[in-house]
Chains A and B, each alone.
Chain A
Amino acid sequence: MATDITKLGVKATWKDLTEGMIIAGAGTSKDFNTGEWSTEKPEFIEEKCKQCLLCVPVCPDSCIPVKDMKRGAFDYGHCKGCGICVKACPFGAITMEGVK
């Protein structure tokens, strides 16, 4: 049975899908590139960012990595472009097409 979840994506052929769409293995969601579902992505403007980290907990897909109390670049492999982070940012450090 094919179980390589990293092959899953909008370009995957029917032969690459797992039998019955079964996923065998644990913690596999990080291997699954769901980021390609979205059409728009947020842009991070680092020079405007005060590192308040208000954007981090509101992200439904945990796409804003934090290291040493500082946020890094978006994980576009999982960001679905909901735009919530744009709304949460008090400093205009996140922009996205269609979100004010």
Chain B
Amino acid sequence: MAKRDRLSGNEAVAIALRQINPDVFPAFPITPSTEIPQYFASFVANGQVDTEFIPVESEHSSMSAAIGASAAGARSLTATSSCGLAYMWEELYIAASNRLPLALALVNRALSGPININCDHSDSMGARDAGWIQIYAENNQEAYDNMVQAYRISEHKDVRLPIMICQDGFITSHAVENIELLDDEEVKNFVGEYNPENYLLNPECPMAVGPYSITDYYMEAKRNQAEGMSNVSRVVLDVAKEFEGISGRKYGLFEEYCMEDAERAVVMIGSAAGTTKDAIDRLRAQGEKVGLIKIRLFRPFPAEEIAEALKNVKAVAIMDRAESYTNHGGPLGADVMAAMFRARSQALAVNYVYGLGGRDVRVEDMESVFEDLKKIVKDNDAGETYRYLGIRE
């Protein structure tokens, strides 16, 4: 039986991890993700899990230890934010290229500088090319549900890639919401045991991990790695379907909100999607045909499916909670526009940078975006395609 509770996003993820009972959890604290290992350490101390919890001296070490544990045959993970993720940079690529299925509970926070502890997506967006699966949450319930589904995706034999379960720093990580938890037993059965085919601690078959690849092999190795990524979308949908069976909650690669007859749409990631839904509800009440696509799976990027979902819109605003310093917009803007271009979309598209360093995004802000789109449709001209939302000019 599902249980209702009031939890912060960090607490919800920590409870999912208690229910999963992973083998190894090395961690180093950094705001706003600190609570995840903190709550988890209390579960270890109380004997509620039999996880090997390793307090390490840095994020470079926490990811290294998670990688070592995974290669050894354990189900491992760590948690971090912002500069902590930046300090794991090298290891992120090692985990993915060695095809090690491990998890990272990422609580999105701005990268310095100026130094700032609040939410934006600059940390995980910078890591988008590291070969990790990236899944994002709008609220605490989604953060919990995504964590429960994480290992089923990451460890799938056709995938075997590390997975980043992302949620917005403070906005979801520290805000307390009503959420529905699954029974411990249900989660245990859903996630199952981890039985890797090859692992370092297997005395029957010694193994080499991470061997040197000269020029003759490197490119083939990367192509081989990409093959795992090409199976992710299918596995994400399969796992989501099974998860719906135990939870009643439906997940896809992205969520479409009021998109059926939408003429103007917003594409975004994370908690501000909830704000955008409120703006849409207000505008829909006035008869305006507006909708939202909220990205759940960002890596790999479901380009064809998003282009298909946007095929009838006249104008679209793609919202980036990270700068990319291309002078053209952010990473989501680039991916969505490329998808639309390949699908020969005729829609007018603009890209906003918003919410950096925890800047509030209000319902009125999102209403103003739809208002901008209205003008774009009327003028049949996108105008400046690289914009900032909520900036003091």
Interface, chain A (partner B; CB < 8 A): 1, 3, 8, 10, 12-15, 17, 19-26, 28, 37
6 shortest A-B CB distances, which residue pairs? A20-B99, A14-B220, A14-B223, A23-B208, A24-B198, A26-B206
Q: How far is A12 from B228 in the complex, measured between Cα atoms in Å?
A: 18
Which residues of chain A are near B98, meaning CB under 8 Å? Answer: 20-22
Given contacts A8-B217, A14-B220, A26-B206, contact A21 B197 (CB under 8 A): no
CA distance A77 to B357 in the complex (A): 58
Q: How far, in angstroms, from A26 to B210 measured CA to CA in the complex? A: 15
Q: Are B206 and A19 in contact (CB under 8 A)?
A: no
Answer whether A24 and B207 are a contact pair too, CB < 8 Å, given A10-B216, A14-B220.
yes
Q: How far is the CA of A15 from the CA of B224 in the complex (A)?
A: 6
> Can you name 26 A-B residue pairings with CB atoms under 8 Å?
A1-B197, A1-B198, A8-B217, A12-B220, A14-B219, A14-B220, A14-B227, A17-B224, A19-B99, A19-B160, A19-B224, A20-B99, A20-B160, A20-B209, A20-B210, A21-B98, A21-B211, A21-B213, A22-B99, A22-B198, A22-B208, A22-B209, A23-B207, A23-B211, A24-B207, A37-B216
B225 at the A/B interface (Cβ < 8 Å)? yes
Min Cβ gap B230→A in Å is 12
Residues of A within 8 A of B224 (CB): 14-15, 17, 19
Q: Which residue of B99, B197, B198, B223 has the most chain A CB atoms within 10 A of its CB atom? A: B198
The interface residues of chain A lying within 8 Å CB-to-CB of B227 are 14
Chain A contacts for B214, CB-based, 8 A: 37
A-B contact count (CB 8 A): 59
Given A1-B197, A14-B223, is A21 in contact with B205 using a C-beta cutoff of 8 Å?
no
Q: How near does chain A come to B18, taking the closest CB pair, in angstroms?
A: 29
Q: Which residues of A contact B225 (CB under 8 A)?
A: 20
Chain B residues positioned under 8 Å from A26 (CB to CB)? 205-206
Name the residue on B nearest A34 (C-beta): B214
Q: A1-B197, A1-B198 are in contact. Are A22 and B207 (CB under 8 A)?
A: yes
User: Which residue of the partner chain, among B100, B160, B217, contacts A17 with CB atoms under 8 Å?
Assistant: B217
> Quick check: B205 and A25 within 8 Å, CB to CB?
yes
A13-B220 in contact (CB<8A)? yes
Q: Other CB < 8 Å A-B pairs besides A22-B98, A22-B209, 20 of them?
A: A8-B217, A10-B216, A14-B221, A17-B217, A17-B224, A19-B160, A19-B228, A20-B210, A20-B225, A21-B97, A21-B210, A21-B211, A21-B213, A21-B217, A21-B221, A23-B208, A23-B211, A25-B206, A26-B205, A26-B206
Within 8 A of A (CB), among B217-253: 217, 219-221, 223-225, 227-228
Q: How far is the CB of B131 from chain A (nearest CB, A)?
A: 11
Interface residues of B in 74-112 (CB under 8 A from A): 97-100
* Smallest Cβ-Cβ distance to A3: which chain B residue: B198
Contacts of A17 in B (CB 8 A): 217, 220-221, 224
Nearest CB on B from A42, distance (A): 21
Find chain B residues with CB under 8 A from A23 CB: 207-208, 211
What residue in chain A is nearest B211 (Cβ atoms)?
Answer: A21
Q: Which residues of A lie under 8 Å from residue B100 when comparing CB positions?
A: 20
In the assembled complex, the Cα of A25 lies from the Cα of B207 at a distance in Å of 6
A9–B206 alpha-carbon span in the complex (Å): 22
Q: Closest residue of chain A to B210, judged by CB?
A: A21
Type the 1/0 row for B106-137, where 1 means its CB is closer than 8 Å to any CB of A: 00000000000000000000000000000000
Q: Which of B329-362 contact A (CB under 8 A)?
A: none
User: Do residues B220 and A20 form an inter-chain contact, with CB atoms below 8 A?
Assistant: no
| CB within 8 Å of A: which B181-217 residues | 197-198, 205-211, 213-214, 216-217
In Å, the complex CA distance between A17 and B160 comes to 15
* Shortest Cβ gap from B185 to chain A (Å): 31
Which residues of chain A are near B213, meaning CB under 8 Å?
21
